[in-house]
Structure 1
Amino acid sequence: MTEKIDTELNDQLRVRRQKLQALKDDLGIDPFGHRFERDSYAKDIHSFADNKSKEELDAAKKHVIIAGRIMAKRGAGKIIFADIRDVSGTVQIYARRDDLADNYALIRRADLGDILGFSGTVMKTDAGETTILIDKLTWLSKALRPLPDKYHGLTDIDTRYRKRYLDLISNPKSFEVFIKRSKIVKAIRNYMDSIGFLEVETPILQNSAGGAAARPFVTHHNALDIDMYLRIATELYLKRLIVGGMERVYEIGRIFRNEGMDTRHNPEFTTLESYGAYWDLSDVMIETENIIRAAAKSINEDGVIDYQGHKIDLSKDFAKRSMTELIKEKTGIDFDKKIDLETARKLANENNVKYESFWGVGHIIAEFFDTFVEKSLIEPTFVYHFPLEVSPLAKKEDNNPDFVQRFELYIAGGEYGNAFTELNDPIDQRQRFEAQAAERENGNDEAESIDEDYIEALEHGMAPTGGLGIGIDRLTMLLTNQTSVRDVLLFPTMRN
């Protein structure tokens, strides 16, 4: 079967190259053309014509110039119909030999996938389909390889990810996802700018990997002869800017983590991180709600989404729940009562909750939440009251030093935001880093390292600050109803 497919493909490649040569030799046409000025897109033409009658269009005599890829072609002899796709959609063109004279030979020789420019008059066929009756065409690019099957599109998952250009050509729904992703990012930027935040850029190559619990990618700088790390978060550099007096900063940028891959994880991904001086969690909750709403409304004005069978109204106020209260509702266990490590491990064993040897009580509490609660949170919910041990950069709660001022936002059983009232005490921060370093020595490869320069920055004084992180890829998955992160990344990481 493979040999037959290869033979058919090779035959098509040969024929298309022969057609390319014939364009040059027989018609004097450059198969790979030049700049082309158009005045309309497929969407514009449909907006103008779809609600008009055939007679109204005939009277309007609207002349347009378009360009796009031939996706389908029908007819022979004296007339040809073809579907032309551009960035906005698809429109039908109608070519008659009597109208085009010598130019008619061009459309007859065109293959699916070729890119041409057209000028003509907007009309409707007897069947009522909006169409352009063309009077001129211009050759712009010869496709030397065939498109995927025109009836089924590109369905092979692996090929869709490896050859995204074929996916975008063949699958309009996939194309639309990435248009929506762009709108989501733009809406977030617009909101952040509107409330006085300054967009900045921080280093991707860093001397130490900090700001998150994750395993970094390591590289080597030849001139300096030092190992460096691709950033696992933007946090520590952004907070240095708060120390410097910028007060409100954010960055939308690529993050790199040398970890496993699944439907919700890719080694490189995009996050929004923001930091507001003189803020705490209450301010960041308001900010987060407004970011999510702005993103949702950029693709659906009412802010209502459908995600995997769940209809969720993001325009309503988000719920606020304590992590320990949620665990107690699901398991009956009250982790607000102070317990020792031995008791916590016993409870974990009794409830089939797995834990690592280097974990403390706080890690086990967080694992109980992940096991019993997370997937049940469908409506937007801020979960606060996080254990200290899993939050090395967050300020402690005033009345309970075992917990910190942190929340995560959960929607449809997944996490979409992480926020702290930031730890601005350099002495406490050093102790947290040292505790993380001890975890690393005991086998936790994702524990934070000690960032001496960041501690020094804190010693100069950082205002009370509220910080937020949102994964752009996961948010796009939610708002476009995708179940794999690869479907919202133009070029996901793939095995060779």
Structure 2
Amino acid sequence: MREDILKTKLEKLEKIKNAGMDAYPEKSQKDFSNGEVLERFDELAAEEMTLAGRVKSCRAMGNVAFAHIEDSTGKIQIFLNKKGSENYKLFTGSVEIGDFIQATGKLFITKAGEKSLEVSDWKMLSKNIRPIPTEYFGLKDTEDLLRKRYLDLMMNPETKDLFKKKNIFWQTVRNFLTGNGFLEVQTSVLEHTPGGADAEPFITHHNALDQDFYLRISLELPLKRLLVGGYERVFEIGRVFRNEGIDREHLQEFDHMEFYWAYSDLEKGMEFMEKMYKEIVFKVLGSFEHEYESEKINWDVEFPRVDYFTEFQKETGIDLNQEVSIEELRKKADELEIKYEMGYGKGKMIDTLYKKTVRQKLIQPCFLVGHPIEVSPLAKSDPENPKKVLRVQVVAGKSELCNAFAELNDPLDQRNRF
């Protein structure tokens, strides 16, 4: 921060102190939210009230001053007149964008038709001494927005709305599962041996035990142990950590949900998941239809089933029902200019080709079924085709949204696969 900016802000802070006003008081008053005032404006117009919020704009013109204060429900304009407002000079000489204030007065409508509060008195709640972006110019640096999410929230209402939708998302998941007899549990984040997914873990050290531990990469194994212990329907919503690359669909830490359901099967699970996803979409978005990357997606349909082998052959020309060598898979990847690493095994090569070809065509919600056994070591084999497994993924908008198996519980089969 430039020294001259800091100097000016500290001078304004000193003005407030010299006027006998606490720039950081412990107590504040707020009679209504801004949103409630705007909604009940006519009803509340006769009342004197105190509102509070962050100053988002501020301008003085002669003997009057206007500002907008914002709380979590919205913005409202406040108006100060030199003749009718206490501390008018102090307001115009010290209040600026980013300050938190409370303002007392009565509601009125300006000549321009804007619902406003005519201020008779005001009080500083928290004086800002660092510059923040203005609404007009905003903050355009994407990296800055990602590093300083508080600025992103401050400047972009759509980001704030995303946080609210995320909350609705997880509450809907939780309510749906508990409403269907599932028990929510919390399991350990630290593991002596990481497992449940093919991912690189983060390592940490336990000082008291003088041992290295791992941050969990999955919720799977502890939940399965609960089924062994006798529970029949369990789930967990928790943070998992994977020490791998970053892209728009992969972060090092993310919220993850897994549920396990004894005495069920894949067909019941698919019916259950379709109901759950439709409820989530409607509760979060208020509609079954929405746009994503210029595509209109409709969830209010029965999810069709898309066969992995059929679509894979259609996009690559490779029939996974036949014996396929890793050299053949690499050749196809080279032909399609798909990047891969020489260390990839057969399953990883199949998965890489699928993600860059088949998945890019899956826009509308569907069940992807019939995965090859090479990419699904923890799923039961399909009794009608031993090259396939009983696995399903919900896919929409080119993204995998869910992964589910008829869990492999044959210990000898599992040992052979590994």
- Asked if Structure 1 and Structure 2 have the same fold, meaning a TM-score greater than 0.5 normalized by the shorter chain, the answer is yes
Q: Map residues 246-265 of structure 1 onto 2, 5 A cutoff.
A: 246-265=231-250
The reply to whether residue 142 of structure 1 matches residue 127 of structure 2 is: yes
**1:31 maps onto 2:23 in alignment:** yes
What is the SS of the residue equivalent to 2:85? Answer: helix
Q: Which residue of 2 aligns with 1:339?
A: 323
TM-fit CA distance, 1:119: 2.7
Superposition deviation, residue 29 in structure 1: 1.3
Structure 2 residue 1 is matched with structure 1 residue 11: no
1:283-326 alpha-carbon deviations (Å, 9 max, x no partner): 22223223322332233212211111011112222121110011
Q: Tell me which amino acid in the other structure corresponds to 1:43.
A: G
Q: RMSD across aligned C-alpha pairs, in angstroms?
A: 2.4
- Aligned pairs for 1:114-193 (under 5 A) are 114-193=99-178
Q: CA deviation at 1:114?
A: 0.5
| Of 181-190 and 60-69, the range deviating more from structure 2 | 60-69
Q: Distance in 1 between matches of 2:315 and 2:349?
A: 15
User: Aligned runs of 1:265-284 on 2, under 5 Å?
Assistant: 265-284=250-269
Contact 1:33 1:140 in 2 (8 A): yes
In 2, the alpha carbon distance for the partners of 1:322 and 1:148 equals 50
Kindly provide the amino acid, as one letter, of the partner of residue 417 in structure 1.
Answer: C
Deviates most, 343-352 or 267-276: 343-352
- Normalising by structure 1, we get a TM-score of 0.78
2:310 counterpart (294, 305, 325): 325
* Structure with larger RCO (C-alpha < 8 A, sep 6+): 1
Choose between structure 1 and 2: higher helix proportion: 1
Q: CA deviation at 1:107?
A: 5.6
Look up the SS of the partner of 2:310 in the other structure. Answer: helix
**Aligned pairs, number:** 417
- CA distance in 1: counterparts of 2:7 and 2:166, whole angstroms: 39
2:179 alignment partner in structure 1 = 194
Amino acid at match of 1:32: Y
**In 2, distance between residues paired with 1:355 and 1:142?**
54
The 1:342/1:295 distance shift into structure 2, 3 A limit, reads closer
For 1:72 and 1:340, locate their aligned partners in 2 and report how far apart those are by CA, in whole Å: 65
Tell whether the 8 Å contact from 2:16 to 2:90 is kept in structure 1 after alignment: no
Counterpart among 52, 57, 61 of residue 67 in structure 1: 52
The separation in 2 between residues aligned to 1:243 and 1:369, in whole angstroms, is: 34
Inter-partner Cα distance in structure 2 for 1:62 and 1:329: 70
Q: Which amino acid aligns with 1:311?
A: K
Distance 1:354 1:180, change over 3 A: closer
For residue 364 of structure 1, report the CA deviation from its aligned partner. 4.3
Equivalent residue for 2:70?
Answer: 85
Distance 2:372 2:55 in 1: 58
Q: Which residue number corresponds to residue 39 of structure 2?
A: 47
1:41-83 deviation digits (Å, cap 9, x = unpaired): 222222223xxxxxx57x9424443211001012244321101
Pairwise CA distance, 1:271: 1.2
1:340 Cα deviation from its structure 2 partner = 5.0
Equivalent residues of 2:15, 2:94 under 8 A apart = no
Give ranges in structure 1 of 5+ residues lacking alignment. 1-5, 50-55, 436-496
What letter is aligned with 1:69?
A: R
Deviations 1:27-48 (A, max 9, x none): 1111111232423222222222
Contact 2:104 2:119 survives alignment (8 Å): yes
Which residues of 2 match residues 204-353 of structure 1 at below 5 A? 204-336=189-321, 338-341=322-325, 344-345=328-329, 348=332, 351-352=335-336
Q: 1:431 Cα shift?
A: 3.3
**Structure 2 vs 1, CA of residues 117 and 355 (structure 1 numbering), >3 Å: closer, same or farther?**
closer
Question: 3-state DSSP class of the match of 1:317?
Answer: coil
Greater displacement, 123-132 / 101-110: 101-110
CA contact (8 A) 2:45 2:108 kept: no
Q: CA deviation at 1:406?
A: 0.8
> What is the percentage of aligned positions where both structures have the same residue?
37
**Which residue does the alignment assign to 1:417?**
402
Give the match's secondary structure for 1:190: helix
Instruction: State the secondary structure of the residue aligned to 2:217.
Output: coil
Deviations 1:318-337 (Å, cap 9, x if unpaired)? 1211100112333444323x
Change (3 A) 1:175 1:278: same
Distance 2:87 2:334 in 1: 83
CA–CA separation in structure 2 for the residues paired with 1:204 and 1:251: 12
What is the rounded CA distance, in whole Å, between the counterparts of 1:416 and 1:69 in structure 2? 38
2:80 to 74, 95, 101: 95
Over 3 Å counting, the alpha-carbon distance change for 1:237 and 1:133 in structure 2 is same
Find the aligned partners of 2:121 and 2:274 in 1 and give their Cα distance.
52
**1:22 maps onto 2:7 in alignment:** no
One-letter code of the match for 2:15?
A
